[in-house]
């Protein structure tokens, strides 16, 4: 049974257009995704596709003008906002992108100890710093004094020391060189191997493929395919959705083939399948009905013509 | 045309040398990669080449002349984060046309949508903003482009789309491009040659 | 640019979320616009009252001395039989005028000094920063009294005193903002795209400074009014002939022990309400015009 299960999730924002008129902007729509313990699920999509909002929805930290529908289950229990607040930081942890998420006026050792549970937070913090090769002196530093590499390890430490069973990492890797990338990805693999469920949210499919067990491809506010990492191989024939194939074939090492068009920002803007305006295989049916999610070859796909 | 970095040295105040004795040249129509780990001064070199910073030693020459201090700079720089490269209080239409009017051809190839022109920057995604920043720099007056981690924050499809448009523009207008990236696959795909800053740089940073 | 693909797209009927967030009704923006209108009306009312109410109502009527608040005299009358409502409105109008002039002057000083500090090099910067620290370390009231007194008091003394003491914190904010803008990527890029310094300053930097100046003005305004009233109350400001709120309050103190509470109560309350109205007006206006908070 999956540890974390998201079913038919939709997120919409109320926005002011001009004057006093308001409109609703749907950014996530009918999304299904689940993560099991000991597994890394990578959620891969472009910027502005709503991936970060998925993390915020799971943790219950969406802004006030957002509206949410659908269910999020943790160990079979449907989460309510109150329950999310209880579990946040304890069972569900976020590894944010940058040190700006740390309290700038508190020494990092203290911040990690505050996240720790158990009888001896100091011992837990020292143990986790030792594990991530952070010298003991680091606990006395303030966030602005950390180098980029130390900051990443401190952020990871905060999640690990909390004992959270679900770790959600929001874009942890962009702009890293090879050595730093390998190290960071290794931290997440290690968390999963210790029995945690890890959700890795990223735009970088190459990085995701290096550690993830399964890949959920995110497009225009929903997961259009969930595939095994092995499916991303050769020319992408084993992938189920044309967008996943386009993503694979657009990689510099696989042909660097661009795809014309753009991703709609509002889920409700395109009739039928949201990928249909860019899809090489689009048929009349695609513009009429939105494809429902269906199971295919051990994965999930939302496409009328996938086989 | 030819863009040359001659014996560049750079440091902050009296600190250690970040760059020392760096020589690099780039010809029109050429796509050159600049690789090297984080913290080795790739960004600093890119900024100096585009006239954003003055080196402590040496200088940048464009066909033997120093870069112009005022007026349109023939060497344009694209930053990694488009969010900070656009004025948040301007509409996209004004941002796009700040340096002159980019051709309809390159705007189309970059996939700019007419309906985006009336929006504010915070209403567009990072990928959409970066297309505007690239289009803004690709006017007929631009001879060289310094792309500093230009597509690092973007997904593969958007990355390919932007780069294919830039490469087409480069072929049409003999644009020389310096690609700063640590994605080896991307450099291999784009560049005619790749230089490693670790080998170029004789600064104390090692 | 091509305009293909998107034309096919039609509004999709499907899947509204439960309830929907865009129900008609009273929204944040309605509320903010309402507050702006209400406070503006209140302030306009005060000024209109202060100007339109004839001098006959503040003339001496010894037959109705010390009348308690009634329908005819809602704020009561004083020991000379003058209508306190009319006196309060005239006092507030004078305070508003003084507040307007001093806040504008302070913002002007802050803008000029902030600009100089940020653009004219290190020596000028450290001189101005030293001046800012000096003024911030002195208590406002003491400095105002000194300046006002040395200029012989009166309207001129109060205006110069308040204007010369309220600029430092805003000057510091402007200096920091300009220093940050000067190294902003979009400003550097603008220069490389061939734009002149003047163009960058007016088109890129000024739009970022305007909200700062505006907020500074809004924050200074009630401060200036309160300080004007305070200095006048202490006897170092406006002369007793002027219908200033500070004068009214300081005179009223003598009658409080006699049970004539309305002389101090209503003018004091009106002053607080006016200051608050300006606060509300400024805050809501700022949030309505700022593109960053516009969509929330």
C147-190, pLDDT tens digit by residue?
Answer: 888 888 788 888 898 899 889 989 998 999 998 998 999 999 99
B38 contact residues in A (CB cutoff 8 A): 148, 175-177, 180
Residue with tokens 């002369």: C239
| Percent of chain A topping pLDDT 70 | 97
Contacts of A196 (CB under 8 A, 6+ apart): A37, A38, A164, A165, A166, A167
Fold for A4-36+48-84+208-301, please state it: Rossmann fold (3.40.50)
* pLDDT(B194) > 90: yes
The three-state secondary structure class of B18 is coil
| Chain segment C42-93, per-residue pLDDT in tens | 888 888 887 887 777 777 777 777 778 888 888 888 888 888 888 888 888 8
User: pLDDT at residue A180 above 50?
Assistant: yes
Residue A10 pLDDT class (50, 70, 90 cuts): very high
Q: Judge whether A150 and A142 are in contact, CB under 8 Å.
A: no
Section C196-212 average pLDDT: 88
- Please tell me the distance from the alpha carbon of residue B167 to that of residue A241, in angstroms, as a whole number: 28
Give the distance, in angstroms, between the CA of residue B38 and the centroid of all CA atoms in the same chain. Answer: 17
Q: Which has the minimum average pLDDT: B154-163, B179-188, C201-210, C228-237?
A: C228-237
Confidence at residue B203, expressed as pLDDT on a 0 to 100 scale: 57
- Residue C194: give the domain boundaries: 24-62+73-289
Angstrom CA distances, A163 to A41, A91, A202, stand at 19, 7, 23
Structure tokens, B168: 């087409």
User: Of A166-170, A266-270, C235-239, where does the model show the most confidence?
Assistant: A166-170
Which chain C residues are within 8 Å of B108, Cβ to Cβ?
A: 1-2
For position C206, which CATH number holds?
1.10.3720.10
Give the 3-state secondary structure of residue B57: strand
- Which of the two residues, A208 and C31, has the higher pLDDT score? A208
Q: How many domains does chain C have?
A: 1
Q: Are C192 and B51 in contact (CB under 8 A)?
A: yes
Given a cut of 70, is residue C25 above it in pLDDT? no
- Which helix H or strand E contains B10, and what residues bound it? strand B2-10
**What is the 3-state secondary structure of chain A?**
CCCEEEEEEEEEEEEECCCCCEEEEEEEEEEEEEECCCCEEEEECCCCCCHHHHHHHHHCCCCCCEEEEEEEEECCEECCHHHHHHHECCCEEEECCCHHHCCCCCCHHHHHHHHCCCCCHHHHHHHHHHHCCCCHHHHHCCHHHCCHHHHHHHHHHHHHHCCCCEEEEECCCCCCCHHHHHHHHHHHHHHHHCCCEEEEEECCHHHHHHHCCEEEEEECCEEEEEEEHHHCCCCCCCCCCHHHHHHHHCCHHHCCCCCCCCCCCCCCCCCCCCCHHHCCCCCHHHHHCCCCCEEECCEEECCCCCC
A208 confidence band (pLDDT: 50, 70, 90): very high
Structural domain includes residue C13: no
Burial class (CB in 10 A: 0-12, 13-18, 19+), C50: buried
Nearest to B51 among C184, C192, C204 (CB): C192
Sheet holding B19-27, edge to edge: B19-27, B2-10, B57-62, B65-66
Nearest CA-CA distance, residue C287 and chain A, Å? 13
pLDDT of amino acid B58: 93
Put simply, whether A205 touches B (Cβ < 8 Å) is: yes
Instruction: Provide the pLDDT for residue A147.
Output: 82
pLDDT band of residue A295 (cuts 50, 70, 90) is very high
Position A35 confidence tier, pLDDT thresholds 50, 70, 90: very high
- To the nearest whole angstrom, how far is the Cα of B9 from the nearest Cα of chain C? 21
Residues of B engaging C, defined by a Cβ cutoff of 8 Å: 50-52, 70-73, 76-77, 79, 81, 84-89, 98-100, 104, 107-108, 112-115, 120, 122-123, 136-137, 141
State the average pLDDT over residues A10-21: 76
- The reported pLDDT for the residue numbered A205 is 93
pLDDT of amino acid B206: 39
Residue A70 is encoded by which pair of tokens?
């659908």
Q: Is residue C183 part of a domain?
A: yes
All residues of chain B having their beta carbon less than 8 Å from the beta carbon of residue C122 are: none
Residue C156 to residue C135: CA distance in whole angstroms? 20
Least confident of A86-90, A165-169, A266-270, B37-41: A266-270
Contact residues on chain B for A262, CB-CB shorter than 8 A:
111, 113, 128
HSE-CB of B196 using CA atoms within 13 angstroms:
8
pLDDT digits (tens, 9 = 90+) for C209-243: 888 888 788 878 888 888 888 888 888 878 777 77
Q: What is the pTM of this model?
A: 0.84
The residue assigned the tokens 């009214």 is: C248
Count of pairs with CB atoms under 8 A, one residue in B, one in C? 61
Contacts of A90 (CB under 8 A, 6+ apart): A117, A162, A163, A164
Residue A206 touches partner B, C-beta closer than 8 Å: yes
Q: Detail the DSSP E strand segments found in C24-128.
A: none
Residues A57 and A28 sit within 8 Å (Cβ to Cβ): yes
Q: What is the pLDDT of residues A219-250, one digit of tens each?
A: 988 899 999 999 999 889 999 999 999 999 99
| Arithmetic mean of pLDDT, B95-105 | 92
Interface check C1 vs A, CB under 8 A: no
In a domain, C166, yes or no: yes
Domain-located, residue C50: yes
| Confidence at residue C15, expressed as pLDDT on a 0 to 100 scale | 37
Summarize the confidence of residues B162-182 as an average pLDDT.
Answer: 96
The per-residue pLDDT of chain A, averaged, comes to: 89
Q: What tokens does A30 get?
A: 């009918």
Element (H, E) at B58: strand B57-62
What was the ipTM of the complex prediction?
Answer: 0.93
User: What's the rounded mean pLDDT across residues B132-137?
Assistant: 97
Cβ of residue C292 closer than 8 Å to a chain B Cβ: yes
Cβ <8 Å between B88 and C185: no
- C-alpha to C-alpha distance for B175 and B147, rounded to whole angstroms: 12
Smallest CA–CA distance from C293 into chain A, residue: A16
> What is the structure's pLDDT at C290?
64
Say if residue A9's pLDDT is above 80. Answer: yes
Average pLDDT over residues C140-146: 86
Q: Helices (H), strands (E): how many in chain C?
A: 11, 0
* B199's tokens: 């080998």
Q: Establish if A100 touches chain B: CB-CB under 8 angstroms.
A: no
**A174–B152 C-beta distance less than 8 A:** yes
Assess whether pLDDT exceeds 50 at residue C19: no
> Quick check: C27 pLDDT over 80?
no
Alpha-carbon distance of A172 to A160, in angstroms, equals 15
Residues B124-128, mean pLDDT to the nearest whole number? 91
C240 assigned to some structural domain: yes
Alpha-carbon radius of gyration of chain C: 25
Per-residue pLDDT at C149:
86
For chain A, give every domain's residue range.
Answer: 4-36+48-84+208-301
What pLDDT does C130 receive?
93
Instruction: Give me the mean pLDDT over the A17-42 stretch.
Output: 85
* Segment A184-194 mean pLDDT: 93
Measured between alpha carbons, how far is C223 from C212 in angstroms, rounded to an integer?
17
**B interface toward A at CB cutoff 8 Å?**
37-38, 80, 111, 113, 124-128, 149, 152-161, 163-165, 182-186, 188-190
pLDDT of residue C293: 55
Rounded Cα distance, B164 and B108, in Å: 12
Chain C residue with Cα closest to A264: C6
Give residues with Cβ within 8 angstroms of B105, minimum separation 6.
none
Cα atoms in the 13 Å half-sphere on the side-chain side of B145: 30
The SS3 of residue C54 is coil
- Burial, A55: exposed, middle or buried (Cβ in 10 Å; 0-12, 13-18, 19+)? buried
Average pLDDT, integer, range A285-300: 90
What is the side-by-side order of every strand in the sheet holding A4-16?
Answer: A22-35, A4-16, A66-74, A77-78
């Amino acid at each position: 049974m999956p540890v974390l299960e998201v079913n038919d999730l939709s997120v919409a924002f109320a926005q002011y257009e001009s004057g006093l008129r308001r409109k609703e902007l749907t950014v996530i729509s009918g999304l299904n995704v689940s993560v099991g313990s000991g597994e890394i699920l990578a959620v891969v999509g472009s910027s502005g596709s709503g991936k970060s909002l998925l993390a915020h929805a799971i943790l219950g930290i969406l802004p006030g003008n957002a509206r949410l529908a659908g269910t999020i289950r943790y160990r079979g229990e449907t989460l309510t906002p109150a329950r999310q607040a209880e579990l946040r930081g304890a069972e569900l942890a976020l590894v944010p992108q940058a040190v700006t998420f740390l309290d700038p006026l508190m020494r990092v050792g203290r911040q990690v100890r505050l996240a720790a549970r158990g009888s001896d937070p100091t011992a837990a913090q020292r143990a986790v710093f030792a594990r991530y090769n952070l010298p003991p002196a680091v606990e006395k530093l303030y966030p602005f004094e950390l180098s980029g590499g130390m900051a990443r390890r401190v952020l990871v430490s905060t999640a690990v020391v909390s004992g959270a069973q679900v770790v959600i990492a929001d874009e942890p890797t962009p702009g890293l060189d090879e050595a730093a990338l390998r190290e960071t990805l290794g931290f997440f693999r290690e968390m999963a191997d210790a029995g945690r469920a890890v959700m890795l949210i990223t735009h970088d499919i190459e990085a995701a493929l290096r550690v993830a067990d399964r890949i959920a491809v995110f497009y225009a506010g929903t997961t259009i395919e969930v595939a095994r990492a092995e499916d991303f191989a050769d020319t992408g024939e084993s992938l189920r959705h044309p967008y996943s194939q386009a993503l694979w074939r657009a990689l510099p090492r696989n042909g660097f083939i661009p795809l014309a068009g753009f991703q709609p920002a509002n889920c409700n803007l395109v009739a039928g399948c949201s990928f249909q305006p860019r899809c090489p295989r689009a048929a009349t049916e695609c513009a009429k009905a939105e494809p429902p999610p269906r199971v295919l070859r051990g994965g999930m796909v939302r496409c009328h013509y996938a086989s | 045309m030819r863009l040359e970095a001659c014996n560049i040295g750079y440091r902050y105040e009296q600190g250690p040398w970040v760059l020392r004795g760096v020589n690099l040249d780039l010809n029109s129509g050429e796509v050159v990669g600049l690789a090297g780990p984080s913290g080795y001064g790739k960004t600093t070199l890119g900024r100096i080449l585009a006239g954003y910073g003055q080196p402590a030693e040496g200088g940048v020459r464009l066909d033997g002349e120093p870069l112009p201090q005022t007026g349109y700079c023939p060497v344009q720089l694209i930053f990694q984060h488009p969010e900070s490269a656009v004025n948040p209080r301007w509409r996209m239409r004004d941002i796009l046309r700040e340096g002159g009017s980019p051709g309809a051809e390159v705007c189309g190839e970059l996939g700019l949508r007419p309906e985006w022109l009336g929006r504010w920057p915070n209403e567009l995604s990072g990928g959409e903003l970066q297309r505007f920043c690239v289009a803004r720099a690709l006017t007929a007056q631009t001879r060289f482009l310094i792309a500093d981690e230009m597509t690092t924050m973007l997904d593969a499809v958007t990355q390919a789309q932007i780069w294919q448009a830039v490469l087409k523009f480069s072929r049409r207008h003999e644009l020389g491009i310096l690609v700063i990236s640590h994605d080896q696959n991307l450099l291999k795909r784009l560049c005619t040659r790749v230089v490693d800053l670790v080998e170029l740089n004789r600064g104390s940073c090692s | 640019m091509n305009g293909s693909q998107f034309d096919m797209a039609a509004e999709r009927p499907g899947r509204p979320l439960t309830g929907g967030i865009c129900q008609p009704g009273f929204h944040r923006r309605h509320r903010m616009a309402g507050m702006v209108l209400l406070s503006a009306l209140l302030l306009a009312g005060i000024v209109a009252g202060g100007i339109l109410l004839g001098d006959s109502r503040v003339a001496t009527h010894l037959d109705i001395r010390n009348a308690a608040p009634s329908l005819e005299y809602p704020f009561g009358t004083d020991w000379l039989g003058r209508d306190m409502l009319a006196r309060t409105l005239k006092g507030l109008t004078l305070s508003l005028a003084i507040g307007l002039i001093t806040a504008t002057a302070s913002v002007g000083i802050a803008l000029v000094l902030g600009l100089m500090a940020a653009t004219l090099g290190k020596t000028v910067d450290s001189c101005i920063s030293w001046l800012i620290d000096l003024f911030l370390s002195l208590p406002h009231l003491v400095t105002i009294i000194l300046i006002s007194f040395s200029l012989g008091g009166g309207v001129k003394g109060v205006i110069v005193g308040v204007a010369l003491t309220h600029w430092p914190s805003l000057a510091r904010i402007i200096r920091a903002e300009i220093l940050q803008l000067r190294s902003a990527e979009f400003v550097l890029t603008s220069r490389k795209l061939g734009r002149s310094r003047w163009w960058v300053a007016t088109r890129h930097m000024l739009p970022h400074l305007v909200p700062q100046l505006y907020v500074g003005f809004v924050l200074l305004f009630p401060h200036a009014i309160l300080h004007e009233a305070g200095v006048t109350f202490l006897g170092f400001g406006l002369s007793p002939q002027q219908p200033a709120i500070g004068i009214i309050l300081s005179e009223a103190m003598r009658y409080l022990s006699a049970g004539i509470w309305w002389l101090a109560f209503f003018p004091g309350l009106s002053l607080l309400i006016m200051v608050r109205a300006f606060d509300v007006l400024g805050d809501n206006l700022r949030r309505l015009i700022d593109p960053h908070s516009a969509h929330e």
